[in-house]
Each structure stands twice: as structure tokens, then as C-alpha cells.
Amino acid sequence: MRYTRNPLLVCSAACVAFLPLTGLAQATTAAVVAQYEAKETPYLTTSGKPSYYSYSSNGVTVKKVQATMAYRLLKPAGFDVTKKYPVLITLHGATGFVTPEQTSGYNVRNLRTVNGHLVGYDPSDAGLDKFIQLKDLVGKSAAELNAFLDANPVSLETFLLAKYTPKGVPLTAAQFTPSDLLKFATTDYPDLSKFSDRYPAIQSQFPTYVIAPQGVNMWSANDLLTVKSIIAGLPAVDMDRIYVVGQSAGGQGTYTFISADPAYFAGAIAVSALGSRVSAADRLKLVNFNLWSLHGDNDGTIQYSADLGLFNDMKSKSSRMKFTTVNGRGHSTENLILSRYGDSGSFVELNNAGAATEGLVRYNYNTQYAGANGDRESDTLTWLFSKRRLPNYIQYNAWSNVKSLKQGPYGDDDADGKTNYAEFVAGTDPLSASSK
């Protein structure tokens, strides 16, 4: 295949934006598993009494004490014992719950899409891999492009024309001109919401421990206690920067973890979780917590309305929560955790569900803020890793609720130039400008 026969490559640097995201397959790849160390730790319970799990053996249900928790550990890139590193806990969804007796998936299925992205892995088929490589050829000579195409027999024209069909209307070879490609880059991909070409740089930009615990039952306070023991044994941890993220049952686990001990965490991202299960008492504990929830409004597995109801309640409390709705999206949202969502916008993904439905699918989204001073940072990783645990969180939260503060710890309800948290520390009145 020669350059003169391939008009797709005649473009400027704008072509870099024409890079779709594909999600990690449910079956965890060896490329991801190899980068996470397999570990195990004694399982702890808040009551001190044994915790049990069940599994089926030859049609018989067997009940067994959970003695250990398996987990996967990723250490920070360029680890330096003289520095302090955050910890990111990733909680898997329902399909990740397996027992030690299910040896084929135990301590493997706990690694999910987000774990692949965190080590620079974005699985895709060969054609997409080759297309992604083209970003390195932008501005190169015809001879250099020819050399690349000769070395890679995948027909890029065929691949693109077959799969990249915006709005369901296939393009013919004649229509797929350089100007059309530039239109995709500037119009159909205005601000690429996905990280595609950014994954390899995540660890260098945000060096962090990543812990992926293996669940055998739905996530509980016992699991959190055990994960805390893992973190306590790690060297060089910044205890003011502990984070948790998860989707579906993992998102529910995220709510469970931060509700059990909000003072332990600096921030959390919960995707496609059941917000109605967060109790009224726990909601009060989370008023000043850095929480970002995302949910597709076409979710047929976990009701979108339940998460929206949580947000609306937290909005009535002027909390720090933010909530992103992905219009038309169903429950499959694992690949949305590491992304960018401003106040409103759209992104386009490749639908690989089957030959009859392959093509580009556009999703619109909007983000709402529960409090006046909600953090509008659109990049989920930048948002998350910028958060630090609030000192004396429990005491401040109780004080803030009594005072009915509207703007959170870093806001200034009485506009006296002193933050609410500073007034809490000083013992002054956050509702009186004359009290400083």
C-alpha cells in the first residue's frame, strides 16, 4: 500500500485527536496481570469474629471462613523511599467476585479496565493499534509513511471505512478525504474526552500505589479494615492522599468504604452505583467529602434515579459532591473512570458489540455540582489526586453541620477572607464577618 493511494494520511497534527478509546475486555490480559504483584494478607473483621464466604462444589454449597484477602499491588513508578506517595484503591464489580476455589479467576479478575489504563494499556485490535501509531507519523515525509505502511500490512482504509462510521452512516472511500478527517478531528472530536494516547504517561504524571483487592463477597467494612492493614505495611505512603474508585458493585463498594470512614480518604470516584443505599446518617458524614459520581441514564442494571436521588439530597446540603450524567449510556461504564468531563459536552466511542452494530457512538454528558464552590476540574485523575484528607474531618463536619455552612471547608460563608476551615481551627464564627 503506497502513500499516493492513501488520502487518510494527508493531514495535520489535528489528526492526533482522531483517537478513540476502547475498553479493557472482561478477561484480564496477561500484559496487565504481569505488572501487578500478587499478594495476600490476613483477613480482618471489625467485630473480631470470623467472616464467611460460600462456594459450590459438585452441586453442594460449602461455607468457609475467609482467612486471607488476596490482592494485586502496583508500586509507584520511579519509587524513592525518601518521598511520599498516594494510594489508589480500585474495587472491581460483581463479575470480579471469586473465591480461592475458583482458581482460574482468583486474584486476576480483580484487575479491571482502570487497572489496565493505569499501566498504560489500552487493548484494541491490530487495525486500531496501527492507526494509533499514525500519530507519530504526522508531518513525516511520503517516504516515511510508505515505509510504515509497507511494514504494516493492515489495510487502514478498509479498517477505518468498516468501523469508523460516525452517526451510523458509512463513508465511502471517495468521501473519506483529508478534509473529512480534519472535520472529525475538529468537529466530531472537539475535546477528546478519553485518554487514549495518555495512558502510558499516567504513572509518570501521577506516581501512586495501586491496590486491587480480590473480593469474595460484596464489599464491606471488613474489607476496608483489611485494606487499611495493607496500606499500613507499605513504605513511604502519604496518608493524607488515600483514594478509592470503582464501578457497579465496585462503585457501591466505594460508597461503603467512604461511608464507613470518610476521615480516612481524600477523595473517591463512584461509577454506576446505587446511591439510594447510602443512609441518611452517612450522607451527613459525606457533606464535606470530595466525591465524584458518574452514571449512565440508560442503566438497566442499577437505577440511574437512585444515584440522582443521592446527588439531589447532597445538593440540598450544599455538599462537595459532583455528579456526571452520561446520556443514553447503559451499565457498561468501566472505561469511563479515567476521562474528562466538563460542565457539558460529548465524546465518541467505538462500539465493538458486533458486526451489525460496530461504528462510532456519540454520548452527551453534563456535570452538576452540589455546592456553590464545587471543583470544576474536568480531568478525573487531576481532580482526584489534587485532593488531600481534611485534618480533623469528623470534628469539622459536625461543626459545619451545626453552623449550616453552605460553601464547604475551603469556602468562606461570611466573606471575611478567612476560609470556613480556618475559622473552625481558630474557633471564630464562620457566619460573622466581624469574627476573625
User: What's the pLDDT tens digit per position in 134-171?
Assistant: 444 445 555 665 565 556 544 444 444 444 444 334 43
Same domain, 53 and 191: no
Please report whether residue 67 resides in a domain: yes
The separation between CA 178 and the C-alpha centre of its own chain, rounded to angstroms, equals 34
C-alpha cell of residue 188? 466530531
Same domain, 229 and 141: no
- Which of these three, 198, 217, 237, is where a domain ends? 198
Q: Quick one: pLDDT band at residue 259, thresholds 50, 70, 90?
A: very high
What CATH number is given to the structural domain containing 53?
3.40.50.1820
Please report whether residue 371 resides in a domain: yes
Helix (H, G, I), strand (E, B) or coil at 13: helix
Same domain, 301 and 215: yes
Q: What is the pLDDT of residue 351?
A: 52
Instruction: Name the least confident of 57-61, 187-191, 309-313, 423-427.
Output: 187-191
Same domain, 91 and 41: yes
Same domain, 209 and 191: no
What is the C-alpha to C-alpha distance for residues 319 and 290, in angstroms, rounded to an integer?
9
Please report whether residue 187 resides in a domain: yes
* Mean pLDDT of the residues in the chain: 78
Same domain, 248 and 343: yes
Same domain, 381 and 350: yes
- Which of these three, 171, 198, 225, is where a domain ends? 198
Same domain, 49 and 166: no
pLDDT at 191 over 60: no
Overall domain count for the chain: 3
Please report whether residue 370 resides in a domain: yes
Q: What percent of the chain clears pLDDT 70, i.e. is strictly above it?
A: 72
C-alpha cell of residue 34? 504481569
| Domain ranges, residue 136 | 3-23+121-198
For the beta carbon of residue 251, count every other beta carbon within 10 angstroms. 30
- Which of these three, 145, 173, 198, is where a domain ends? 198
| Count of positions (residues) in the chain | 436
Same domain, 60 and 186: no
Please report whether residue 282 resides in a domain: yes
- The residues with which 362 forms a beta bridge, in sequence order, are 348
What is the C-alpha to C-alpha distance for residues 147 and 72, in angstroms, rounded to an integer?
41
Please report whether residue 434 resides in a domain: no
Task: Tell me what the mean pLDDT of segment 259-279 comes to.
Answer: 96
**Higher pLDDT residue, 150 or 368?**
368
Please report whether residue 436 resides in a domain: no
Same domain, 360 and 293: yes
